[in-house]
Amino acid sequence: MAGTRNLYIETFGCQMNERDSEIMAQLMGEDSYLETARAEDADCIVVNTCSIRGKAAQKAYSLLGGYRALKERRPDLVIAVAGCVAQQDGESLLKRMPHLDLVIGPQNIYRLAELVAAARDKAARTAATELRPDFAIPPFLPKMDGGGPPHKRFVTIMQGCNNFCTYCVVPHTRGREISRRPEDILAEVSHLAAHGVREITLLGQNVNSYGRDRQATGHDPLDFPALLRAVAAVEGISRIRFTTSHPKDLSPELVRCFAEIAKLCPHFHLPVQSGSDRILARMNRHYTRADYLAKVAALRRARPDIAITTDIIVGFPGESEADFAETMETINFVRYDSAFSFKYSDRPLAVAADFPAKVPEEVKSERLARLQARQDEISQEISAALVGQTLEVMVEGRSKNAGRQWSGRSADNRIVNFDCDRQLAPGQLLPVRVAEACRHSLRGRLA
Ligand code: 5AD
Ligand code: SF4
């Protein structure tokens, strides 16, 4: 096509970043950039970075470093860094890597096309990383013909985090909590539903505190449970998920939603981080193990089939073998459906970086291995217990092995593969009887 340019986006990190990349691709598309699968073909490269752990940030730096040769061959190539590393490092990235044109923080992605055009035309190098407390997430309607699954989408409902867990860089990279206007969220969900989307995942760093900032500034009283009820009322949406949650903000009203809103999927990702009260206090988490377990019990009373998943950090500064044993006890007690677990890593600006009693790397590795081995067993036992049950599965598409095999997701987000000779459509709901529990998926037959 005449007048088009090529855009290559590489995305690291969380679902917030994935959604931000979709938004950037759409905005650039409106400015005649078409997405390409190869960085070598691009006129503009955007690396949307993550800084949550040292390793994630390292990956971004090494990818960016590798683009120097491309820029030397093609000086008119525009290279932009977005996401949390961009926010964290700002201007200093431009100094460190002279082949970069643009550093753009999460609040500024809506200005990407304008900033890229400026970089192209005037060869100006810019760091757009201001974080404004009065920032309002603009209304935005997703385009439906640009990539992505046709039946499920992410909808960002808030940005930022107010919690300052001592290990975490996010409050420093994403700023304070800013909730999106409920009317903009509902307009986006209705628009998606009208275009055939059946499943919505509401996104934010701490969705359970949605609306609190708006209430404090005299706007509407809509909180997260009320938002869930409003989203559930949108015709055409059959499944609602959300991520991520802080246990301290999990209210009885949110628990009630799991009993009362049938469209709300029976899955709760509830990061525990540690099973030791001493470590939880040092992490500034504002709950004890007992508080956490009481919330898990309440969720299970409201929705007995609910899957609970979590995040765990091992080797936080000062974590003793006894503290770690309490984390192991917690996973044995809760019996998580699955868990993401990480070795603690120092992050710039996060205060735990200055905490004494750092745990040696080999101790962290050994604890992580023990935890993951036990969690794998628990996950396998829970999967095996599903054999013989009939699950409602939302069709995703043909499975990778093609043939007559299809793939879908259960309400608690497990991958379920099954055979079917008919043509199926993504988003369709079907009952599947589980015949076999594989390592990362289930196999079944249409019931
Ligand atoms: N080191 C290790 N893991 C971390 N996480 C957040 N910060 C760190 C860090 N400094 C983990 C937490 C969080 C998940 C997204 O990443 O478990 O819930
Ligand atoms: Fe990574 Fe957190 Fe930033 Fe997401 S918000 S990209 S997980 S640092």
Q: What is the CATH number of domain 5-128?
A: 3.40.50.2300
* DSSP per-residue codes, 242-292: EE---GGG--HHHHHHHHH-TTB-SEEE---B-S-HHHHHHTT-S--HHHH
Read off the pLDDT band of 220 (50, 70, 90).
Answer: confident
**What's the CA-to-centroid distance between 396 and ligand 1, angstroms?**
30
Q: What is the pLDDT of residue 123?
A: 67
Question: What stretch of H or E contains 322?
Answer: helix 321-334
Helix (H) and strand (E) counts in the chain: 15, 19
Q: What is the pLDDT of residue 401?
A: 67
Bridge partners, residue 417, by sequence: 407, 443
Over range 48-65, report the average pLDDT.
95
Ligand 1 binding pocket includes 161 (Cβ within 6 Å) = no
- From the CA of 167, the nearest ligand is 1
Q: Alpha-carbon distance 309 to 440, whole Å?
A: 15
- CB within 6 Å of ligand 2 — which residues? 13-14, 16-17, 50-52, 83-84, 169-170, 173-174
Query: Which residues lie closer than 8 Å to 65 by C-beta, 6 or more apart?
Result: 97
Q: What is the pLDDT of residue 400?
A: 75
Closest CA to 81 of 101, 57, 56, 110: 101
CB count within 10 Å of CB 58 equals: 13
Residue ranges matching CATH 3.80.30.20 in the chain: 152-384
* Statement: residue 148 has pLDDT above 90: no
* Substitution site in 203, 244, 311 for ligand 1 pocket (most atoms within 8 Å of beta carbon): 311
Instruction: Please tell me the least confidently modeled range out of 2-11, 327-336, 349-358, 409-418.
Output: 2-11
Q: Alpha-carbon distance 272 to 288, whole Å?
A: 10
* DSSP per-residue codes, 69-137: HHHHH-TT-EEEEEHHHHHHHTHHHHHH-TT--EEE-GGGGGGHHHHHHHHHHH---EEE----TT--P
The one-letter amino acid code at 186 reads L
Q: What is the pLDDT of residue 3?
A: 76
Q: What is the pLDDT of residue 402?
A: 67
User: Ligand 2 atom 6: the closest Cα is on which residue?
Assistant: 50
Q: What is the pLDDT of residue 341?
A: 98
| Residues 284-297: tens digit of each pLDDT | 999 999 999 999 99
**What's the CA-to-centroid distance between 14 and ligand 1, angstroms?**
11
Ligand 1 binding pocket includes 178 (Cβ within 6 Å) = no
Over range 198-223, report the average pLDDT.
94
Q: What is the pLDDT of residue 124?
A: 79
Supply the mean pLDDT for the chain: 95
Q: What is the pLDDT of residue 429?
A: 97
DSSP one-letter code for 354:
G
Closest approach atom of ligand 1 to CA 347:
10
Ligand 1 binding pocket includes 353 (Cβ within 6 Å) = no
Alpha helices in 5-67 (DSSP H): 15-29, 54-66
Closest approach atom of ligand 1 to CA 169:
7
* Substitution site in 51, 85, 107, 345 for ligand 2 pocket (most atoms within 8 Å of beta carbon): 51
* Statement: residue 411 has pLDDT above 80: yes
Over range 329-343, report the average pLDDT.
98
* Statement: residue 107 has pLDDT above 70: yes
* Statement: residue 32 has pLDDT above 60: yes
Q: What is the CATH number of domain 152-384?
A: 3.80.30.20
Residue ranges matching CATH 2.40.50.140 in the chain: 390-446
Question: What stretch of H or E contains 374?
Answer: helix 361-384
CB count within 10 Å of CB 284 equals: 14
Q: Alpha-carbon distance 230 to 141, whole Å?
A: 18
Question: What stretch of H or E contains 434?
Answer: strand 429-437
* Statement: residue 412 has pLDDT above 60: yes
Q: What is the pLDDT of residue 166?
A: 98
Closest approach atom of ligand 1 to CA 340:
17
Ligand 1 binding pocket includes 367 (Cβ within 6 Å) = no
* Substitution site in 10, 14, 172, 342 for ligand 2 pocket (most atoms within 8 Å of beta carbon): 14
* Statement: residue 2 has pLDDT above 60: no
Closest CA to 209 of 177, 171, 164, 241: 177
pTM summary value: 0.95
* CATH architecture of the domain with range 390-446: Beta Barrel (2.40)
Closest CA to 343 of 331, 330, 324, 361: 361
Percent of the residues in the chain that have a pLDDT greater than 70, as a whole number: 99
* Substitution site in 15, 168, 248 for ligand 1 pocket (most atoms within 8 Å of beta carbon): 168
Q: What is the pLDDT of residue 143?
A: 86
User: Ligand 2 atom 5: the closest Cα is on which residue?
Assistant: 170
Ligand 1 binding pocket includes 342 (Cβ within 6 Å) = yes
Over range 40-48, report the average pLDDT.
97
Residue ranges matching CATH 3.40.50.2300 in the chain: 5-128
